[in-house]
């Protein structure tokens, strides 16, 4: 019963979020882990994730089957209230009808006995629904790629020099060679037990997603950090030296922050000091705690000053006049990250009534509605992103800014760059898009030239290409990890 109880708590959290804000934010994996921590759940989070993601995917159909079967009409009452939660009943019906074993995973219990009383009625309604939809399996009417395809093709690990004596990364690499004896030439050739040495980011390696690395002592000691390759782009592009002072304006969970620290303090030729040279900002107190834990594990907590609050409100140019560089990775649509498909299903189903089952007749209307909702959301996000970057550009001694998103949409990427370049204040401050030589020059996928051509009609094709070349893009899965965008702004 604990398994279904714990899963019910997660579903209740999701329903509460949708009722409160109209949508669910973050990946489903993150939400499950957050609930496990909040409710002190002992059930394996992987098992909860599996049933919750599948259950919500099929929820409109299960709701219909449950209602038609009469199961919801005769729920026993205790002290004037239903004795069983509808969401727990949903979970049990999911396993009874859709799991491989077609059975409820629990011993004798009143709620199990209640559901089994309606087993024949549930199966009958299930068959009727499939006939009505002209299908043999419900998977034919849902996105079959949402679970199996919604994961990274590579597990990327970064060696952290800050936890290594004399910053000698070869010590850790030699240990990794023992666990992964086979070296491959491209990430596409990675198999269990093999390792790929990345050609773009120093000290970054790719391993197979099935290889267990979190139980390794190197990970526990903070000597290696799991971080997607594209997520390593910003710090690598900023490339701060021991003399730089950097603000990471949207820091949590802290991977980019600690990567910046590795650049500033990880050079074996420069003696390590305890000076604060990184100011990390995080608006959410809970995420700020995760950030604190991350930088402590990475061994750079003495060099980073964590500030809880809105960067645009509490970070003033006069207070941080010594800042020379910025990492800006603000909230975005997350359209390039894994784990979003399940959340998109949550959000879409949350807007439907329990009786509403999609059919082929309203597909066009649904698509148009989704497109309008997406445009509105991207517009709001782009406005927020613009304000973050523009605020950073007002700092007097800043010379280099890297703006990034884990989005694939031009609205949050090239069009934000264009809006900044057109802004009179930004122009007066002297900011421009950096040349390709400063922005991962050997990376093969650049920004969309067409976006710049559409607006800057007075510029030549070559000039628009140069603007696009100051941006880098990564496609989800196709480029070995998450979808990503980064651009570098510089001034003299």
Catalytic site positions: 406
Region class of 458: left (phi > 0), else alpha (psi between -120 and 50), else beta: alpha
Known binding residue 268? Answer is no
Known binding residue 282? Answer is yes
Known binding residue 256? Answer is yes
Known binding residue 252? Answer is yes
DSSP state of 247: E
> Which helix (H) or strand (E) is 248 found in, with range?
strand 246-248
Known binding residue 261? Answer is no
Known binding residue 310? Answer is yes
Known binding residue 250? Answer is yes
Known binding residue 474? Answer is no
Which residues are part of a known binding site for S-adenosyl-L-methionine?
250-256, 282, 310, 329
Which residues are part of a known binding site?
250-256, 282, 310, 329
């Amino acid at each position: 019963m604990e398994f279904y109880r714990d899963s019910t708590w997660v579903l209740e959290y999701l329903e509460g979020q949708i009722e409160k804000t109209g949508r669910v934010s973050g990946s489903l994996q993150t939400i499950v882990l957050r609930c496990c921590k909040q409710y002190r759940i002992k059930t394996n989070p992987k098992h909860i994730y599996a049933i919750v993601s599948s259950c919500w995917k099929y929820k409109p159909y299960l709701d219909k089957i449950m209602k038609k079967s009469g199961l919801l009409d005769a729920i026993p009452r205790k002290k004037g209230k239903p004795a069983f939660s509808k969401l727990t009943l949903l979970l049990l019906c999911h396993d009874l009808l859709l799991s491989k074993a077609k059975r409820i995973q629990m011993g004798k219990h009143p709620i199990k006995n209640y559901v089994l009383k309606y087993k024949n009625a549930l199966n009958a309604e299930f068959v009727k629904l499939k006939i009505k939809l002209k299908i043999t399996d419900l998977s034919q009417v849902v996105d079959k790629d949402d679970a199996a395809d919604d994961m990274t093709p590579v597990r990327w690990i970064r060696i952290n020099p800050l936890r290594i004596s004399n910053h000698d990364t070869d010590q850790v690499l030699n240990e990794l060679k023992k666990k992964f004896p086979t070296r491959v030439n491209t990430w596409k050739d990675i198999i269990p037990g093999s390792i790929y040495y990345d050609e773009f980011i120093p000290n970054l390696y790719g391993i197979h997603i099935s290889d267990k690395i979190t139980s390794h002592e190197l990970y526990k000691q903070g000597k290696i950090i799991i971080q997607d390759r594209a997520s390593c782009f910003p710090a690598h592009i900023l490339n701060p030296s021991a003399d730089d002072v950097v603000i990471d304006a949207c820091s949590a969970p802290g991977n980019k922050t600690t990567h910046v620290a590795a650049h500033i303090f990880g050079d074996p030729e420069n003696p390590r000091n305890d000076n604060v040279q990184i100011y990390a900002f995080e608006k959410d107190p809970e995420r700020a705690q995760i950030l604190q834990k991350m930088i402590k594990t990475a061994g750079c907590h003495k060099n980073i000053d964590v500030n809880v609050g809105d960067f645009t409100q509490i970070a003033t140019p006069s207070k941080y006049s010594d800042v020379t560089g910025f990492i800006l990775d603000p909230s975005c649509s997350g359209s390039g990250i894994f784990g979003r498909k399940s959340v998109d299903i949550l959000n879409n189903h949350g807007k439907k009534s329990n009786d509403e089952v999609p059919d082929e007749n309203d597909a066009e209307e649904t698509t148009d509605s989704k497109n309008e909702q997406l445009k509105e959301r991207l517009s709001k996000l782009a406005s927020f992103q613009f304000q973050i970057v523009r605020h950073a550009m007002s700092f007097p001694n800043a010379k280099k800014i890297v703006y990034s998103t884990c989005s694939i949409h031009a609205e949050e990427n090239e069009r934000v760059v264009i809006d900044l370049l057109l802004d009179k204040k930004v122009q007066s401050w002297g900011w421009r898009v950096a040349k390709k030589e400063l922005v991962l020059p050997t990376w093969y996928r650049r920004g969309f030239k067409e976006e710049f051509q559409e607006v800057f009609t007075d510029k030549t094709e070559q000039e628009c290409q140069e603007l696009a070349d100051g941006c880098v893009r990564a496609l989800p899965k196709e480029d070995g990890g998450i979808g990503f965008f980064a651009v570098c702004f510089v001034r003299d």
